Amino acid sequence: MSPSPHTRRLTADFLIVGGGIAGYQTALDLLSLGSVALVSRGSIASGSSYYAQGGLAIPWGFDREAIDSHVEDTIRAGAGLCDPERVRLLIEGAEEAFATLVSYGVPFDRDESGQILFTREAAHSRPRIVHAGGDKTGSYILKTLAQNVHGHERFTFLTPYRLTRLLKGSDGRIVGGLFMDEEGEGWLEVLAKATIMATGGFSALFARTTNPPSQVGDAAAVCHRSGAILERLAFTQFHPTVLDLPGESPFLLTEALRGEGGHVVNSAGERILFRYHPEGELAPRDVVSRALWLEARANPESGLYLSVTHLPAPYLKRRFPQVYSHCLSLGIDLSRDWAPIRPAAHFQMGGIKTDMEGRTNLPGLYAVGEVASTRVHGANRLASNSLLEALVMGHRCVRGISADPEWREKGIEPPPPEEREIPRTMLSVPPDLVSMKMIQELLWEKAGIVRFMSLVLSGREEIRSWLAMMREGPVTAEGALIRNALELSREIFEDLLVAPRVGANYFQGESPAQSGSSTQKKGKE
């Protein structure tokens, strides 16, 4: 069957799915090799990169001692479950990543003499975080990258489209993707020599999250159905200091607030974190999140707060303009008031398994940024290493692609006709039986900050029962969303049962079914 007349078709040398920092950095480097089509579900403000308040962690000085220290902090924060060689490759790539951003024109914060300003964040042994616009680093970097890409004669930006299927050539190589129009107005088919996933994580699968609503892991689920290996899905990072106000969406209170001297206190003003870790507020995020969970459970009547009232008001307004103004709009003056906090799902260390050039187990398919599992983060991510990973892996992925003779020699091979058929029906669960809200609440309650074996097992069974309700029905965006969420949630619960009992994977009072490293999940058609 030929494509529907309502299907837009185009060909590019490279297809990038996702419009965050990882996607745009990859696009910039790929433009020297050929044409690039970047497909996104929304504008640059629709993903997590735009809202990244934290900075960019770099081993300033870029000498061996600075690099060694950064590597050690990364592995320590990851509960020892990082790949040391890969961590070193990431940190050693920081110098090129930072220099490239400076050359593009990213306005990093500087002192009066023009020197780059550095700050310290939790689990870092020294100040090594650079910022742009105070707490607007993500948006500053993303806007700068986008400005250097848009308008290029080889670049095409397409939105709003949701990935529905990877397209395979007759030899099994991934040769592009099929996308559904988010507004229900048709389909998009993009054929390419190499396809790069840069779609971010799936923390919005949890009821309480710092991520935009679109971050639910659609692309990971689609790639899994085509045979991509998923791994370490149990390694969810919960950010501890997230504003907790009735009726308001969770709002991240940047890690830098604690790094710059903020205190976490209870209603009596006691700094509680030293009960759980000798570094108190500067303990790793997973430690602090668990501490807050345990405190709230032990003392449900006592509130938990972030206090920076001991810091000068002019400094707070200048250093944290986004956080300060948002809190003020909600009636909280950080220079005088404590901010009520509760953890929220924030970042995924696992995802599509790749090497350090972004290659997956499927030829022609790459992944960069939070959607990928490079094993550099372990069970918990060191603060401000996420932007570093997006930038460094963008560079490394393109080097890997340029060294691959396959895309140069074969060109773009159209997939077989059956691969290009526009689906008339799809498998899914009717939204009146299972909603996204139900899935999000299930993950929050049974795969959250502190995991109990009994809850994980019951959560897995509930997901299985919902999947058993899947039937053929009309193709809808909501139906596709729920199917992808259910399939990815199933893999998360399966991984929780074999995840190491460390870091973010902690079974309070119970033992996991088995110990050892997280499993790899190989997808099926």
The answer to the question of residue 257 being in a domain is: yes
Say if CB 279 and CB 227 are below 8 A apart.
no
The predicted-structure confidence for 205-243, as pLDDT tens digits, reads as follows 999 999 999 999 999 999 999 999 999 999 999 999 999
CATH number of the domain residue 253 falls in: 3.90.700.10
Question: Domain limits at 468?
Answer: 422-522
Whether the pLDDT of residue 519 is over 80: the answer is: no
Whether residues 180 and 254 share a domain: the answer is no
Residues 49-67: pLDDT tens digits? 988 888 999 999 999 999 9
Q: Are residues 196 and 53 both part of a single domain?
A: yes
Supply the DSSP symbol for 375: S
Catalytic residue among 285, 290, 359, 490: 285
Burial readout 199-230 (b: 16 or more C-beta within 10 A, e: otherwise)? bbbbbbbbbbbbbbebbbbbbbbbbbbbbbbb
Provide the 10 A C-beta neighbour count for residue 47.
30
Name the domain count of the chain: 3
pLDDT on residue 521:
54
- Specify if 427 maps to a domain: yes
Same domain, 413 and 429: no
> Are 285 and 238 within 8 A, CB to CB?
yes
pLDDT tens digits along 102-154: 999 999 999 999 999 999 998 999 999 999 999 899 999 999 999 999 999 99
Decide if 454 is inside a domain: yes
| 1 found inside a domain | no
- Whether residue 410 is predicted with pLDDT greater than 80 in this model: the reply is no
The pLDDT score that the predictor gives to residue 517 is: 33
The verdict on 99 and 157 lying in the same domain is yes
User: pTM for this one?
Assistant: 0.93
pLDDT for 505 equals: 46
- How confident is the model over 318-345, as a mean pLDDT? 96
Domain co-membership, 228 together with 83: yes
Domain assignment present for 2: no
Catalytic residue check, 285: yes
Structure tokens at 177: 């993707």
pLDDT at 459: 97
Q: Give the pLDDT mean for 283-303.
A: 92
Say yes or no: 321 and 373 in one domain. Answer: no
Report yes or no on 513 lying in a domain.
Answer: yes
DSSP, residue by residue, 168-227: E-TTS-EEEEEEEETTSS-EEEEEEEEEEE-----GGGSSSBSS-TT-S-HHHHHHHHTT
Same domain, 445 and 406: no
- Among residues 417, 446, 463, the one where a domain terminates is 417
Domain assignment present for 250: yes
Among 220-224, 236-240, 295-299, 410-414, the least confident range: 410-414
* Residue 468 in this model has a pLDDT that exceeds 90: yes
